[in-house]
Amino acid sequence: MEKVTQLDTFRIITERVGKFNVQGKRFLIPEMNPFSSHLLAGIFRSFGVNASVMDTYEGLDLGKKFTSGKECFPCIVTLGDILYFMEKERERLGDKFYPENYMYFMPEASGPCRFGMYNKLHRIILDSIPGLDKVKIATLSSDDAYDLKGLIPKEKLIAFRKAGYLSIVVGDILDRLLWRVRPYEKAEGMADTFILDARNKMSELFSIHSSNGNFSAILSDIEKIVKEARNIIDLTMPRKPLIGVVGEIYVRTHVKSNQDTIRTLEKYGAEVVNASIGEWINYTTYDQVRLAKIALRLNLKKFQLKEVKKYLLQYLKFNLTLFYQYMQQRKVYHIVRKYIDIEEDHKIGHLEKVLKKTNTFSFAIGTEACLSIPSALGLARRGYNGVVNIFPFTCMPSNLTASITKPLMGKLNVPYIDVSYDGSFQPGREAALRTFMYQANQHFKTHGRP
């Protein structure tokens, strides 16, 4: 048998994980929060790509079978999703199953944590299963603020990117709408049914309008959805303690991975606001501006004019992108907040200022800790009645967040809890959340809510 060297493995990874043209493939997107992946699939369909969101969490056992337990939990869950999907397709199609017809989407991030390694590990595991070496993995990287170049034809890039960002904001809005109305619904289950219906409508609208750029049709429907959602609220119910959630983006938004923590908090009397997905997208763009600025300054000092020009252009490009993102986000929130008081999103520059002022962490280190720490501080200072940090067990940035944030919350006298998940059920979890909610209720009685 031919020996596979480390160099071969590296070559295989670079050849079959990358920015491939997705046209003509069945494009498979893993589900993260219940909304944005579905809206993204709608956008891909609008641009002629046969995209769908895979069932999630059904393949957790498969994910665990092919990993050691030391990997990040989101890596295991998403691996399970693709393996389960492929297993079912093989069963469904039999001899007509052609793995080369599929492409699996797994973005990445650089920096000191392990998100950049998921798609490499998934590649190695897919290669170990007969036939699945032919399933290419399409990726995007935080290194270039998730530039779609290579994945989508050049002439469609701008339109796709605009629709993509809008889908992130609309997904956040649907999430926030659900958390705003569900604790006060007139009858149990109304909010969940309504929001699922709204998501399907939105996904359909994105699949119709993304490629023609007719976003006003999407915005007018979101307005209608929000107006209807108000009718779910039982106006006789008093407002409840307000709890903020921070943490690792996948587990805090993936309802099955976090065992529906938000619903448990609601069961014990909370109204909850989780950090948004838009926060991460804005952060990756903001960080490119920050890095370009540093490089520009350094090259100016060295008087390297060619490099100065390069970083100046980068600085302007990412600044413009960030400006567009904030403008679009503000516009959508403005439409929605005319009808219902969902929480607005914060600016990333503000979070960096908080970190500098408190000298608690630095954007130079990166990772989600630089978002979670100042967010938790901001929530506490604004009068939230408690803060929950949700993350995968063994997650490095989230453990950093936990170690720095906990004492700060103690000083501010705001209830705080760390909850980590790895797929197992902890018998004491609900009791811990219930105790936390008791403290949050005490805080609410003394201080009210923002």
- Residue pair 63/105 in contact (Cβ under 8 Å)? The answer is no
Nearest distance in Å: CB 100, ligand SF4: 29
Nearest distance in Å: CB 396, ligand SF4: 4
In the bound state with ligand SF4, the residue whose beta carbon lies nearer, of 33 and 299, is 33
- Phi first, then psi: give them for residue 390, nearest 5 degrees: -105, 130
- Residue pair 198/151 in contact (Cβ under 8 Å)? The answer is no
For 434, residues 6+ apart whose C-beta sits below 8 A from its C-beta are 268
* Type of residue at 146: Y
Nearest distance in Å: CB 249, ligand SF4: 8
Binds ligand SF4 (CB under 6 A): choice among 27, 47, 85, 115: 115
In the bound state with ligand SF4, the residue whose beta carbon lies nearer, of 22 and 246, is 246
Binds ligand SF4 (CB under 6 A): choice among 114, 122, 240, 346: 114
Please tell me whether residue 248 binds ligand SF4 under the rule CB under 6 A.
yes
159: burial class by Cβ within 10 Å (0-12, 13-18, 19+)?
A: middle
Closest CB to ligand SF4: residue number: 113
Q: For residues 158 and 160, what is the distance between their CA atoms, to the nearest angstrom?
A: 5
- Residue pair 428/265 in contact (Cβ under 8 Å)? The answer is no
Please tell me whether residue 279 binds ligand SF4 under the rule CB under 6 A.
no
For 41, residues 6+ apart whose C-beta sits below 8 A from its C-beta are 27, 29, 51, 52, 53, 203, 207
Site for ligand SF4 in 50-89 (CB under 6 A): 72, 74
Q: What are the Cα distances from residue 186, in Å, to 190, 233, 340?
A: 7, 6, 16
In the bound state with ligand SF4, the residue whose beta carbon lies nearer, of 114 and 199, is 114
Total residues interacting with ligand SF4, rule: CB under 6 A: 12
Please tell me whether residue 352 binds ligand SF4 under the rule CB under 6 A.
no
Q: 348-358 vs 278-302: helix axis angle to the nearest 10?
A: 70
Nearest distance in Å: CB 360, ligand SF4: 18
Q: For residues 300 and 294, what is the distance between their CA atoms, to the nearest angstrom?
A: 10
Please tell me whether residue 104 binds ligand SF4 under the rule CB under 6 A.
no
Please tell me whether residue 418 binds ligand SF4 under the rule CB under 6 A.
no
Please tell me whether residue 396 binds ligand SF4 under the rule CB under 6 A.
yes
- Residue pair 194/232 in contact (Cβ under 8 Å)? The answer is yes
In the bound state with ligand SF4, the residue whose beta carbon lies nearer, of 171 and 397, is 397
In the bound state with ligand SF4, the residue whose beta carbon lies nearer, of 252 and 443, is 252
Q: Name the segment binding ligand SF4 (CB under 6 A); options: 9-17, 37-45, 107-115, 157-165.
A: 107-115
The DSSP secondary structure of 4-68, one letter per residue, reads PPHHHHHHHHHHHEE----TTSEEEE---STTHHHHHHHHHHHTT-EEEEPP-STTHHHHHHTS-
Nearest distance in Å: CB 95, ligand SF4: 38
Nearest distance in Å: CB 395, ligand SF4: 3
Task: Work out whether the CA dihedral 257, 62, 52, 27 comes out positive or negative.
Answer: positive
In the bound state with ligand SF4, the residue whose beta carbon lies nearer, of 178 and 390, is 390
Q: For residues 123 and 135, what is the distance between their CA atoms, to the nearest angstrom?
A: 9
Site for ligand SF4 in 360-389 (CB under 6 A): 368
Ramachandran bin of 157, using left for φ above 0, alpha for ψ from -120 to 50, beta for the remaining angles: alpha
In the bound state with ligand SF4, the residue whose beta carbon lies nearer, of 391 and 444, is 391
Question: Strand pairing partners for 419?
Answer: 390
Nearest distance in Å: CB 115, ligand SF4: 4
Binds ligand SF4 (CB under 6 A): choice among 62, 380, 395, 440: 395
Nearest distance in Å: CB 122, ligand SF4: 13
Binding site for ligand SF4 (CB under 6 A): 72, 74, 113-115, 248, 368, 392, 395-398
